Amino acid sequence: MGNSYTKPRRKQIDDLGDVFEIPSFTQESKSYTVCISKNTCTCPSWKYHRKGIPTCKHLDSVRPPPIQKKSVVSYIKQKNKNKCSHFHVISAYLPTQSTLLNYVYARKYNGIRIRFQLSSKQAITRKGGMCIDISSLFKNMNMPLCPEDEDPEFDAELVYKDMSSHTVVMGELTKNNLSDLRIKVFDIIDTSKLFLDRIERIHVFIPDEMCTKYHDAVDYDHLVTVMKDYKQQAYEGIVVRHKKGMYTPGHASNANAFKIKVDNEKHKITSEHLRSE
């Protein structure tokens, strides 16, 4: 672990080490061609990145980050090799068993992260590369009677039906077909309120069917059981959030929130926590 940087599987297709063929992170049958010097990629995310310098995770994967940060991947020990489950935890901090009761969890959707306001219903992707008109997704929705003088911003995931597939969502956007896409709001941008208070605020503005459903975390045995069930349903994993966590932008990997992802190959964890009580 430490500050090591592991490059993904790739195939060099020129003599200068400048052009690579990178496998898709979500579909093994697909691959994309990236050129480091020209800063280009053949994937849909790069093609539709319209703000700032175009980039994508395939380009980022062949260029180590300029500042190597300490690893944010922590693990839960294997308690029984014959009964291990293949998941990994992404976090710079993990709560102990006794404090896990202060957390809630929800399914992690592998869609496209967006931010929007109800007044415009124009969604911006996380890196600002795409602007998406999501007004059609609110048609026939039973909208709450929200305060007219407030227009907060929401963090949400744009998903395809109930599937976990970033590629499928991007494909539907490429075809300008939003009819099978869904919005799952998971937070409201408010730096003054605790997480559970923010969840209550979301329901003031957003219909229940568009809200991410959170459940109380009991212990790590419980979370591993949830992960096993989610794995069978081909879900990507879960996000665990502190009930009193404050809003922090960016990736969830701190004391306020962390992720547990399904990982069939790399890391094996069970319910025995890494840290001692």
d(Cα 4, Cα 6) in Å, to the nearest integer? 7
- Judge contact between 124 and 82, C-beta under 8 A: no
Per-residue DSSP letter, 254: S
Distance of CA 205 to the CA centre of its chain: 23
Enclosing H/E stretch for 195:
helix 195-205
d(Cα 157, Cα 212) in Å, to the nearest integer? 9
Q: Cα angle vertex 167, ends 164, 170, to 5°?
A: 110
For residue 230, the tally of other CB atoms under 10 A from its CB is 20
Q: Break the chain into its structural domains and give their ranges.
A: 11-61, 72-277
Which pLDDT value is given to residue 209? 93
d(Cα 227, Cα 107) in Å, to the nearest integer? 9
Which tokens hold the place of 45? 């995310």
**Beta bridge pairs of residue 215:** 105
Which pLDDT value is given to residue 141? 87
What residue type is assigned to position 60 of the chain? D
For residue 232, the number of C-alpha atoms closer than 13 Å in the C-beta half-sphere is 5
- Judge contact between 204 and 235, C-beta under 8 A: no
d(Cα 206, Cα 184) in Å, to the nearest integer? 10
For residue 28, the tally of other CB atoms under 10 A from its CB is 9
Which pLDDT value is given to residue 104? 95
Provide CB contacts within 8 A for 6, sequence distance 6+. none
Which pLDDT value is given to residue 270? 37
Which pLDDT value is given to residue 78? 39
Which pLDDT value is given to residue 157? 93
Which pLDDT value is given to residue 71? 32
d(Cα 90, Cα 253) in Å, to the nearest integer? 6
Phi, psi dihedrals of residue 169, rounded to the nearest 5°: -60, -45
Q: pLDDT of the chain along its 277 residues, tens only?
A: 333 333 445 555 554 457 888 888 777 778 888 887 778 888 888 877 655 567 777 877 776 444 333 333 333 443 444 444 446 666 656 677 777 888 999 998 888 999 999 989 999 987 667 889 999 999 888 888 777 788 899 999 999 887 767 888 888 888 888 999 999 999 999 888 899 999 999 999 999 999 999 999 988 888 888 888 888 887 888 899 989 888 876 655 556 788 887 764 444 443 333 333 3
Fold assignment, 72-277: D-amino Acid Aminotransferase; Chain A, domain 1 (3.30.470)
Q: In 3-state terms, what secondary structure has residue 85?
A: strand
List strand residue ranges (DSSP E) for 14-121, in order.
19-23, 31-35, 40-41, 73-74, 87-90, 103-108, 112-117
Phi, psi dihedrals of residue 150, rounded to the nearest 5°: -120, 140
- Judge contact between 181 and 172, C-beta under 8 A: yes
d(Cα 174, Cα 178) in Å, to the nearest integer? 10
- pTM above 0.75? no
